[in-house]
Amino acid sequence: MVRKQPMLTVGEIARRLGQPVHRIEYIILSRKIQPAGWAGHSRVFVDSDLSRIASELRRIAEERGDFISSDVVQEQPTDGE
């Protein structure tokens, strides 16, 4: 049986990472992260994109010297996980 990979919208990525949507959009655009596909007019991404976005957010915060607590910019599990 083939297990389908969940598709994540920008809003879902922002919710899971506890960040505003505009910050996620900035990472996607500036790092040229391509969507895995489209659902109507919405771009959808996969878990590996979520990990990359989280990593980039941590890197930016570290470069700025911002303190990041262990619970910020971590992937939040969905209700089904």
Residues of the chain short of pLDDT 50, as ranges, are: 70-73, 81
Is position 81 within any domain?
Answer: no
Global pTM value: 0.78
Is position 48 within any domain?
Answer: no
Is position 71 within any domain?
Answer: yes
Is position 13 within any domain?
Answer: yes
Is position 29 within any domain?
Answer: yes
Degrees, nearest 5: CA angle 60-47-70: 45
Is position 17 within any domain?
Answer: yes
Is position 23 within any domain?
Answer: yes
Query: What pLDDT was estimated at residue 71?
Result: 46
Is position 16 within any domain?
Answer: yes
Interatomic CA distance for residues 37 and 45, integer angstroms: 7
Full residue range of the structural domain in which residue 3 is found: 1-41+53-76
Query: What pLDDT was estimated at residue 4?
Result: 79
Domain count, the chain: 1
Query: What pLDDT was estimated at residue 70?
Result: 47
